[in-house]
């Protein structure tokens, strides 16, 4: 395993982290704990979860795994989050989280899911930072962190608070262009950076032929290449992978073992190709899945990825018909309220895409 210094937190984290949002069968807690123990034995030391991953089940499983780590003297760092913004609610939440996680203190505690700067300022007005500082003084958390789906210059503004010691956001070989500016503040304040969705929410492994250009060696798989692209970033400490199976853990660890330094020149070539080809893909986060006129937006946008990737309407139409089984004309119900575009972390032009889909005929 390779370890990197996590900014000014001073902690050394494994370059692969364990994300607790993709367990295959959350009801088989023993199997989930077994996966986490295996990951820790293989050197992964950063374990990230949240109070709404499978309800509270992910945190409960993490608590069981942390007990195992302690019994076996395996070193680890815990990471979780809160979406609450009122002081009393945050305190109540963390008390429950510490109990579920079987911990006295959480290493990395995140203000969760900042998707909009105005809403962030509201949360701040409610005292979210004050209570985080208090929790740190009381020893209930070690580091104040934030997770965000904002674009890069908004993340930079968020980090200008200079209170956050670490930040978590989505970053991969195809969406990095919308996050670049975040690294200005990360460098300036020596903030630790963990990234999620390193495989683009599954898009990269599902389209190995399309993403072939990210490979730096012939013997690399596309998954390895996508992870190596992130390992090569000097300011990213850890790529968080949501593991579903034991085999995926071994695959990620193999990617660490096979990593060879990528020259700055080669990295730039990859970035140039990616920037030109793959902006504007939906990552399937489903944050937009709350349309007032019940348009299944994530399904339409996932199908639209096929048009972006293959440059053909027929691929999109096939996806809608044979995978999602939805007609094109439901897309015409859109009232252009703009709610979905406001929340989309990829900043996709959803309304225009729906209009385009609505006009398509098989």
Least separation in angstroms between CB 67 and ligand SF4: 35
**Closer residue to ligand SF4 (CB): 44 or 203:** 203
**Sites for ligand SF4 among residues 9-38 (CB under 6 A):** none
Least separation in angstroms between CB 149 and ligand SF4: 8
**Closer residue to ligand SF4 (CB): 10 or 202:** 202
Q: Spell out, one character per residue from 261 to 300, where the chain touches ligand SF4: x when CB under 6 A holds, - when not.
A: ---------------------xxxxxxx--xxx-x-xx--
CA distances from 228 to 78, 98, 102 (A): 24, 34, 34
**Sites for ligand SF4 among residues 301-320 (CB under 6 A):** 301
155, two tokens: 């993340």
Least separation in angstroms between CB 325 and ligand SF4: 18
Q: State the chain's maximal CA–CA distance in angstroms.
A: 62
Asked if 337 is part of the footprint of ligand SF4 (rule: CB under 6 A), the reply reads: yes
Residue with tokens 């992910």: 58
Least separation in angstroms between CB 346 and ligand SF4: 4
Looking at the DSSP bridge assignments, the partners of residue 241 are 18
Phi-psi region of 11 (alpha: psi -120 to 50; beta: other; left: phi over 0): beta
**Closer residue to ligand SF4 (CB): 264 or 293:** 293
Which of these segments, 104-112, 182-190, 318-326, 332-340, binds ligand SF4 (CB under 6 A)? 332-340
Question: Closest Cα to residue 223, out of 198, 244, 187, 194?
Answer: 198
Residues 6+ apart with CB under 8 A from 140: 94, 98, 104, 105, 106
DSSP conformation letters of 229-255: HHHT-TT--EEEEE--SHHHHHHHHHH
Report how far residue 298's alpha carbon sits from residue 284's, in angstroms, rounded to the nearest whole number.
Answer: 6
**SS3 label, residue 108:** strand
Asked if 349 is part of the footprint of ligand SF4 (rule: CB under 6 A), the reply reads: no
Asked if 350 is part of the footprint of ligand SF4 (rule: CB under 6 A), the reply reads: yes
Least separation in angstroms between CB 317 and ligand SF4: 18
Residue with tokens 């893909």: 281
Asked if 344 is part of the footprint of ligand SF4 (rule: CB under 6 A), the reply reads: yes
Indicate if the alpha-carbon torsion angle 160, 161, 164, 167 is positive or negative. Answer: negative
**Sites for ligand SF4 among residues 174-213 (CB under 6 A):** none
**Closer residue to ligand SF4 (CB): 252 or 348:** 348
Question: Closest Cα to residue 305, out of 348, 343, 269?
Answer: 348
**Closer residue to ligand SF4 (CB): 20 or 201:** 201
Asked if 329 is part of the footprint of ligand SF4 (rule: CB under 6 A), the reply reads: no
Give the interface size with ligand SF4 as a residue count (CB under 6 A): 29
**Closer residue to ligand SF4 (CB): 56 or 326:** 326
Which of these segments, 87-95, 218-226, 255-263, 350-358, binds ligand SF4 (CB under 6 A)? 350-358
Question: Closest Cα to residue 189, out of 359, 1, 7?
Answer: 7
User: Cβ of 212: how many Cβ atoms within 10 Å?
Assistant: 12
Q: Which residues bind ligand SF4 (CB under 6 A)?
A: 282-288, 291-293, 295, 297-298, 301, 334-340, 343-346, 348, 350-351, 354
């Amino acid at each position: 395993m390779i370890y990197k210094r996590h900014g000014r937190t001073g902690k050394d984290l494994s370059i692969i982290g364990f994300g607790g949002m993709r367990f295959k069968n959350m009801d088989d807690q023993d199997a989930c704990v077994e996966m986490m123990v295996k990951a820790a034995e293989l050197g992964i030391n950063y374990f990230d979860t949240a109070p709404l991953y499978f309800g509270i089940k992910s945190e409960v499983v993490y608590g069981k795994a942390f007990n195992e780590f302690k019994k076996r003297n395996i070193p680890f760092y815990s990471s979780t989050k809160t979406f609450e913004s009122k002081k009393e609610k945050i305190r109540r939440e963390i008390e429950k989280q510490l109990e579920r996680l079987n911990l006295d203190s959480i290493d990395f505690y995140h203000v969760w899911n900042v998707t909009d700067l105005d809403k962030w300022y509201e949360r701040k007005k409610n005292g979210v930072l004050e209570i985080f500082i208090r929790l740190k003084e009381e020893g209930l958390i070690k580091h104040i962190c934030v997770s965000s789906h904002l674009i890069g210059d908004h993340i930079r503004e968020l980090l200008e608070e200079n209170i956050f010691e670490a930040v978590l956001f989505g970053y991969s070989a195809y969406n990095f262009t919308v996050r670049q500016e975040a690294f200005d503040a990360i460098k300036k304040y020596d903030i630790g950076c963990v990234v999620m969705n390193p495989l683009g929410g599954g898009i990269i492994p599902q389209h190995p032929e399309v993403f072939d250009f990210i490979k730096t060696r012939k013997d690399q798989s596309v998954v390895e290449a996508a992870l190596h692209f992130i390992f090569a970033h000097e300011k990213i400490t850890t790529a968080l992978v949501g593991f579903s199976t034991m085999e995926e853990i071994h695959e990620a660890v193999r990617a660490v073992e096979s990593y060879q330094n990528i020259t700055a020149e080669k990295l730039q070539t990859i970035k140039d190709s990616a920037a030109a080809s793959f902006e504007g893909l939906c990552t399937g986060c489903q944050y937009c899945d709350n349309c007032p006129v019940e348009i299944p937006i994530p399904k339409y946008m996932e199908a639209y990825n096929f048009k972006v990737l293959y440059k053909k309407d027929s691929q999109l139409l096939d996806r809608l018909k044979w995978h999602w089984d939805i007609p094109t004309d439901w897309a015409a119900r859109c009232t252009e309220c703009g709610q979905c575009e406001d929340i989309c972390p990829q900043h996709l032009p959803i309304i225009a895409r729906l209009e385009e889909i609505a006009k398509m005929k098989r």
